[in-house]
Amino acid sequence: MSHFNDFNNAQVAKLPNHLKQFIVNQNYGKYTPIDQAVWRYVMRQNYSYLKDVAYYPYIKGLQRAGLSIEYIPDLQTMNDNLGKIGWGAVTVDGFIPPAAFMEYQAYRVLVIAADIRQINHIEYTPAPDIIHESAGHAPIIADTDYNNYLSYFGAIGAKAMFSAKDFELYEAIRKLSILKEAVDADEDQIAKAEKSLRYISENMGEPSEMALLGRLHWWTVEYGLIGTLENPKIYGAGLLSSIGESASCMTKEVEKLWYNIDTINYQYDITKTQPQLFVTETFQNLKDVLEQFADTMAFRRGGMESIMKAIACKNVATAIYSSGLQVTGVFTDIGVGLADEVTFIKTTGASALAYQGKQLADHGKTYHADGFSSPVGRLQDANKPLEDYSDDEIKQLTGIGDNIQLIFESGIKVEGQLMNILRGDGKILLITFTNCTVTERNQNVLFKPEWGNYDMAVGAQIVSVFNGAADKDAFEEITLISEEKARQVVYEEKTLQLHQLYKRVREIRESSENLGELAAIFDQLKRNYRQDWLCAMEILEIIFHKKIYHQLEKEIHVYLEIKAGKESDHRKLINDGLHVIKNPVSQLIVE
């Protein structure tokens, strides 16, 4: 993947390898004429309704993001436009891990699922798709206050601590969404996956930082309202891209509450419509609430409770000593003093040391393959933290012979021959000993000379703990996943012929020529494609607006109304489509 395509966009070009690995080719040619018609149907519906309830000028927002109502957007056009406001966009394959999603936002890059919903999921799709991501998130990106909130949220979210349950939940959601969107989905498998997801989500225990942030994200970025409680406007992408819920959410049945820090107490269920929504007066308030929450997080608090969060997470996390040294690994143990201060930390398995986000030379996970452990704290009777000692002051801490002896306030004793002192910006980060013994106050041995050299981390406290590795590209050894993940769908002959009919209707609409063919196309639909409703609707739209073929117009109208009466799952779609034809949104093309 050396030919990484950055679309000539500065933000996309800045992405690190561990984020690039999720990117797939958009593969624009895979969108069929039906896919294009689905996009156009949903976008016309959205516009018809949203022009009155969306917070921002929807069409101007679409144009500034490089989107149109007529065609599924292509990534190059989006990047050309988003680049002007300091953002970019990439396509990925369905759900990606939440921490990666957050980090993309921090880099000011929109993540767009490359697929588009099938026509039978036109109102709502369980999997992320290009309609949700681009028609929902992109149009509001041009608002500076909002896009600052989004990238700030990303920066904070990328550091949030997970619980081990969060990882299970993510895997279960991803599995279910893939099953549901599969063309040949097996109902038994889906039922089983749904049951497993329900079980996990009902037994989550205490919500983690990421779970709580997930709620703030849900009630703002996805389902947020702005303005007043009596007359709010929609800015949340989940509402904006769901034809159904953007209308129902404005009714009195859905309670409207002010958005503040208490909103984190409201859980959400992605499978149901929301019982209440939260209104913010300004986008600045979103940043203020986020800031309030960030002050409670491990990356700002450090200390014992933060290491405990890392241990509970059972996945890679990073702890930062007050010297600036960063220790990355799976945390498994902690020593705690009488005043709840951290006296000792331990990781198990591959670990690494870094400083300011860059891995230290020779301290990667192959060198620290079996974990890392080190004391935390000040030396006994010391008038300053160990990280502030000069080299001479260290050498005066004599032990027996040419050994150096360090006795910490916690009673941990480190004795051995000094080999090396590593500093960063003047502070001591790491002291390396040979022939070294480390014991606790109760004589429990933590390190023996025969185990090799002892690298002792230096710092009076743990000031920060965050999710993931300090130097992700070094720690994760990214092997970039191939771009060719697009599942090639093979269509049968009959479906390909239907695609041709859709394509022909579009050509006739755009050129206003060969209008006489429409009757024959409708005839084929009626004979061979009784399940289809959207192509007939598009023919009706053309002849209604051109005020021609009144007999054919009546016939298609009756055909669709009978369909709406008989097929309950198409009823609303057909009625909404007819409404937009009669109440045209023609001005949206020229605006």
> Do 272 and 378 reside in the same domain of the chain?
no
**406 and 530 together in one domain:** no
- Residue 400 and residue 284 share a domain: no
Does the CA dihedral 70-72-77-79 come out positive or negative?
positive
Q: Are 171 and 283 members of one domain?
A: no
Token digits for 486?
């697009």
Rounded CA Rg of the chain: 29
Residue 48 lies in a domain: yes
Cβ neighbours of residue 277 closer than 8 Å, sequence gap 6 or more: 219, 223, 224, 225, 232, 249, 254, 255, 256, 257
Domain count, the chain: 4
121 is in an annotated binding site: no
Residues 338 and 384 in one domain: yes
Burial label, 492 (beta-carbon count in 10 A; 0-12, 13-18, 19+): exposed
Domain boundary among 150, 180, 205: 205
Specify whether the CB–CB gap between 59 and 135 falls below 8 A.
no
- 222 marked ligand binding residue: yes
- Cα–Cα nearest to 481, from 15, 7, 22, 12: 22
Per-residue pLDDT reduced to its tens digit, 199-208 = 888 888 889 9
Q: Residue 325 falls within a domain, yes or no?
A: yes
Residue 301 within any structural domain of the chain: no
431: number of Cβ within 10 Å: 24
User: Are residues 20 and 138 located together in one domain of the fold?
Assistant: yes
- Is residue 302 in some structural domain? no
**Residue at which a domain ends, from 476, 502, 521:** 476
320 with 426, same domain? Answer: yes
What residue numbers bound the domain in which 571 lies?
493-590
pLDDT of the residue at 2: 45
Q: What is the 3-state secondary structure (H, E, C) of 433-472?
A: EEEEEEECCCCCEEECHHHCCEEEECCCCEEEEEECCCCH
Any idea what the CATH number is for the domain that residue 51 is in?
A: 1.10.800.10
Q: Report pLDDT digits (tens) over 109-125.
A: 999 988 888 888 787 66
What is the 8-class DSSP label of residue 362? T
70 is in an annotated binding site: no
147 and 186 fall within a common domain: no
Domain-terminating residue out of 446, 476, 506: 476
In a shared domain, residues 110 and 243: yes
For residue 486, being part of any structural domain is answered with: no
Phi first, then psi: give them for residue 336, nearest 5 degrees: -130, 135
76: how many CB neighbours lie within 10 A of its CB? 16
In a domain, 21, yes or no: yes
CA–CA separation, 69 and 540 (whole Å):
18
* pTM listed for this prediction: 0.87
Residues 97, 229 share a domain = yes
Give the 3-state DSSP-derived string for 409-427, with helices as H, strands as E and coil as C.
Answer: CCCCEEEEEEEEEEEECCE
The answer to whether residues 532 and 471 belong to one domain is: no
CA 331 to chain centre: 25
- Give a yes or no: residue 2 inside a domain: no
Q: Is residue 488 part of a domain?
A: no
Beta bridge partners of 347: 331, 372
Mean pLDDT, the chain cut into blocks of 10 residues (591 residues total): 80 94 91 96 86 81 90 95 95 84 95 88 75 84 92 96 84 80 79 88 86 94 95 89 76 95 91 90 97 98 96 95 98 94 97 98 96 96 96 82 91 95 97 96 94 96 97 81 57 95 97 96 97 97 96 97 94 93 65 37
pLDDT of residue 164: 82
Phi, psi of 477 (to 5 degrees): 40, 70
Same domain, 148 and 174: no
C-alpha distances out from residue 427 to 57, 182, 356, 393, Å = 53, 56, 13, 13
